[in-house]
Structure 1
């Protein structure tokens, strides 16, 4: 843990020093105007469209299925890509160059070779060193790959990118965190997962506990419109306008084929017969021609791409409420709660505004339950330093606070993380009054509120809410510690409590699963952490 903290801090200090020494004035080249393209509507002329339309009981309803298991979540994306006949619209913050990422990219390439229009939109933050791979995909007929808020220089490493953009830091620090996958305008997947081994439990190291939802019905056209809002934005560039290559198209295609071939990119294992909620793989529904979904009213929101320049709605210089932002709508649902609010967020920094919302609903005796990562479970220790500042106040308000335990998740049969070194929380959701489910890409932290763009779905379904609470309860009981004050509400010292087998209770007085040096570094860094940048 100490090594991880030192590594992250050392990288940050080194990056700032390098930026100060080597910063230039790199800018993006001018780009010719582009004609906008639009999402395609579902049609019974496609297999997916026919199934979706036949399964929908009412034109105003949307169908959903939660996917807590990584094997089901990835297989669903692959099934949709393989069965698409007209269009695939794919939007991700991160697509890693590992077995999972390359397999998805190759599946998109194969779809394009069948004549499917593929529009792939990626944030440019984590594409360092991957230009040749991405250019190879973009060289495929019917594929267009665009980058959100691209870096103008330093393509080989993240350090060089920021060094070359020091005087443009306010722009390049703002990223597209959305995750969305739409097939033939008929079916979609949205939620918290990026594309990489650790998001689908395919590593022996650090794996994420995450949550996606499958979507069909009335909400899919709205998701397509939100995708178009980004795709046609002036802050998005075709990769060829950002990255120069002297290789001919045929050579780029050949190198992509080699990089994503079976020698380096084996197919993923088949999903289990049933997931934690009892569902079978989505392929069985698609083969049968009928979707087994929960149908409900729902809305979807996404932050404006103009957040990249810090633009917010205003009148006469006075900021206005951004009623279409994900954060605004989550907070409004919380404020309307009558009985209980349950929040799951891997990176949790409520800030004073968030605390005030909690105070407001606690004054009405609304129960608050929060699940987040412990110090040992988080992959962002600096975020944890800011989160710690708010723990005592949340506990004083009477919130039930839980932190994920790396030790307990590895031992849990139902969480399925055997063989991994660390289990981390990455799901982002909220349940309001056991009636409304929020699931999306937004964390409850300053970065999601002001720096990153996000997408979120609001599903008005007691059944979807019940299923999510069931998953959260498993997480609390088998993978987390409950926090409390050591001597009651009047003391500031915190204890971590877990109920083990045979009714045995474990009580810890220090950050669980951590060592002395890690906790020491946490104490040293806490006063220095710039909360507004986390």
Structure 2
């Protein structure tokens, strides 16, 4: 915005004078004080308008077109992938339910890549895990590997110097999805100064993907932060990724390219600002990601809960032990406005080939059973109609979501609980993750000293078709976020996902039911004793109080 600095300074000065006048002593006439306060409020509003007008995205930005490098047996990972494949039409999978295995797999691919690394994430946190992964990417670039890093810009506040330092290295390019241009230093100021563009900045890229040498990939539900890999001191997520290689990887590369070259993606240097020269930015990055403040993750144990060892052992041996199956991958188009004319719920617009539409189509075709895991579950009226249609066909519908005590988004829970009685009346089996009971089982990780929360997004249809992805079953995933998902036709993988959820034994969850009078009850089994609760389990009085107070104010389609 031309001259915006001078204009903003002038308005800010006027605002300061107005606020000083409004705070003057009470000897002023009451009318003068009121006029001063009104003028101060008007100045503040005008300042926001000016800053908001400056929040528009830069024009005529150069985005050099680039495409993924195909796999080749000239690279080690490419050769191992080719040697491990029984059929070029199949994709090999290994589920990653435990955090230490999930981060180790990503780091193994980064460290062993020889030609290219493509990375796409909703969140890479400026914490020990995020900085360590960024440094590993820097190390790969120094080996001559081409690194393309695509991040959603929502949670990059305060990290501009860190990210610009990474971007200043040769062989690395950082791009941002739908970036903020004003108020970048804090999360709240970003939205405050972009109120005039709320419909734009409300659209976020929720995808999670890492591809090494065009040969192997990791995708699923995890972002890059301590809490997704059991490294947070207070709360950690139960989540699920999958390692994969084979027929699906080239399609994932195409999906990545469609985002990388999209008009809604901007080079980091087009929106991030620094007066530091590249050499000093690189030094800053070195200091920020040094070993003192960025310790490496703990190595994974010998085996995970499914009996698999670390992927590095397979790579060292030169052959991968995987489950091979037919599979497909989908990602929502990056530039589509999902908010125009969409209705929230489990059923999306019929003419859009989205991640959600493909999941819903699988559910519509279910013959015997649908098992869902979603940390945020808000089905909407059409979602209820879909569940009712499945139940009328005799399909068992079982759902695992967060309890109020487990969720990190209480307002999203308020959207879920509006539909909870209706789902139960349809005969849907509802299970809610229990932080307390999570500590009594090591099936999904050790939560003896931290709170466990569900973050996995999966669906198992008729015990033979599996969805693993980034999509929650809520309005935000349908209308506002872009999502990515893998669809696998495999009875073995279906068994493994169901084993991880382990709903039958209720080891880590409460079963929600309606009693004879239609009241909610939470059931659990301890040894041979059944526990029955009448209120949201493990949630404090104040949590319930504030939720009841704020829930009516939350627009459901934004949850």
By how many angstroms is 1:323 displaced?
Answer: 4.1
Equivalent pair of 1:39/1:228 in contact (CA under 8 Å): yes
CA distance in 2, matches of 1:287, 1:19: 61
Cα displacement string for residues 162-181 of structure 1 (whole angstroms, at most 9, x for unaligned residues): 11100100000110000000
Equivalent pair of 1:430/1:437 in contact (CA under 8 Å): yes
Instruction: Find the residue that maps to 2:309 and give its secondary structure.
Output: coil
By how many angstroms is 1:413 displaced?
Answer: 2.8
Instruction: Find the residue that maps to 1:216 and give its secondary structure.
Output: strand
Instruction: Find the residue that maps to 1:88 and give its secondary structure.
Output: strand
Cα displacement string for residues 99-120 of structure 1 (whole angstroms, at most 9, x for unaligned residues): 1000000000000000000000
Aligned to 2:28: none
Instruction: Select 1:163's aligned residue among 192, 204, 212.
Output: 192
Instruction: Select 1:518's aligned residue among 535, 538, 543.
Output: 543
Aligned to 1:486: 515
By how many angstroms is 1:353 displaced?
Answer: 1.3
Classify 1:119/1:476 alpha carbon distance in 2 versus 1 (closer, same or farther; 3 Å): farther
Cα displacement string for residues 184-212 of structure 1 (whole angstroms, at most 9, x for unaligned residues): 00000000000010000012210000000
- For residues 385-534 of structure 1, the aligned pairs below 5 Å read 385-473=414-502, 477-487=506-516, 491-501=517-527, 503-534=528-559
Q: How many matched pairs? A: 508
Aligned to 2:15: none
Instruction: Select 2:244's aligned residue among 215, 219, 224.
Output: 215
RMSD: 1.6
Aligned to 1:11: none
Equivalent pair of 2:77/2:113 in contact (CA under 8 Å): yes
- From the CA coordinates, give the structure whose radius of gyration is larger: 2
By how many angstroms is 1:410 displaced?
Answer: 1.6
Gaps of 5+ in 1: 1-17, 314-318
By how many angstroms is 1:311 displaced?
Answer: 6.3
By how many angstroms is 1:308 displaced?
Answer: 5.0
Instruction: Select 1:83's aligned residue among 95, 98, 112.
Output: 112
TM-score of the pair, normalised by structure 2: 0.89
Classify 1:19/1:100 alpha carbon distance in 2 versus 1 (closer, same or farther; 3 Å): farther
Instruction: Select 2:229's aligned residue among 200, 204, 219.
Output: 200
Instruction: Find the residue that maps to 1:520 and give its secondary structure.
Output: helix
By how many angstroms is 1:411 displaced?
Answer: 2.0
CA distance in 1, matches of 2:548, 2:445: 33
Matched, 1:50 2:50: no
Aligned to 1:338: 367
Matched, 1:105 2:130: no
Equivalent pair of 1:87/1:184 in contact (CA under 8 Å): yes
Gaps of 5+ in 2: 1-43, 343-347
Instruction: Select 1:144's aligned residue among 163, 167, 173.
Output: 173
Comparing 391-400 with 511-520, which one deviates more in the overlay? Answer: 511-520
Higher RCO (Cα < 8 Å, 6 or more apart): 1
Aligned to 1:279: 308
CA distance in 2, matches of 1:312, 1:116: 43
Equivalent pair of 1:65/1:215 in contact (CA under 8 Å): yes
Cα displacement string for residues 287-318 of structure 1 (whole angstroms, at most 9, x for unaligned residues): 000000000000000001113575689xxxxx
